[in-house]
Amino acid sequence: MADEAVEVGPGPAAESYLKIDNIIQAAKSTGSQAVHPGYGFLSENGAFVSALERENITFIGPDSKAMKAMGDKIGSKLIAKEAGVNTVPGFIGTIDSADHAVSVAEEIGYPVMVKASAGGGGKGMRVAWNKTETIEAYKLCSGEARASFADGRLLIEKFVEKPRHVEIQIMGDKHGNVLYFPERECSIQRRNQKIFEEAPSPLVDSSLRRKMGEQAVALAKKVGYSSAGTVEFLVSETDRSFYFLEMNTRLQVEHPITEAVSGTDLMEMMFAVADGMSAGFWSSC
Query: For the segment 39-79, what is each residue's pLDDT rounded down to a tens digit?
Result: 888 999 999 999 999 999 999 999 999 999 998 888 898 99
Residue 105 — very low, low, confident or very high, per pLDDT cuts 50/70/90?
A: very high
Percent with pLDDT over 90 in the chain = 70
Residue 121 is predicted with a pLDDT of 66
Residue 30 — very low, low, confident or very high, per pLDDT cuts 50/70/90?
A: very high
Answer whether 256's CB lies under 8 Å from 197's CB. Answer: no
Give φ, ψ of 102 to 5 degrees: -65, -45
Residue-wise burial string across 219-253, b where 16 or more C-beta atoms lie within 10 A, e elsewhere: bbebbebbbbbbbbbbbeeeeeebbbbbbbbbbbe
Q: What is the pTM of this model?
A: 0.82
Q: Does residue 1 register a pLDDT over 80?
A: no
Answer whether 50's CB lies under 8 Å from 36's CB. Answer: no
Answer whether 179's CB lies under 8 Å from 200's CB. Answer: no
Residue 250 — very low, low, confident or very high, per pLDDT cuts 50/70/90?
A: very high
User: Catalytic one among 246, 254, 259, 268?
Assistant: 246
Distance of CA 224 to the CA centre of its chain: 15
Answer whether 123's CB lies under 8 Å from 145's CB. Answer: yes
Active site residue 53: no
Helices 73-82 & 64-71, crossing angle to 10 degrees?
100
pLDDT digits over 171-202, tens only?
A: 999 999 999 999 999 998 887 788 899 999 99
Within 13 Å, how many C-alpha atoms sit on residue 213's CB side?
17
Residue 119 is predicted with a pLDDT of 66
pLDDT digits over 218-244, tens only?
A: 999 999 999 999 999 999 898 899 999
What residues contact 177, with CB distance under 8 A and at least 6 apart?
278, 279, 280
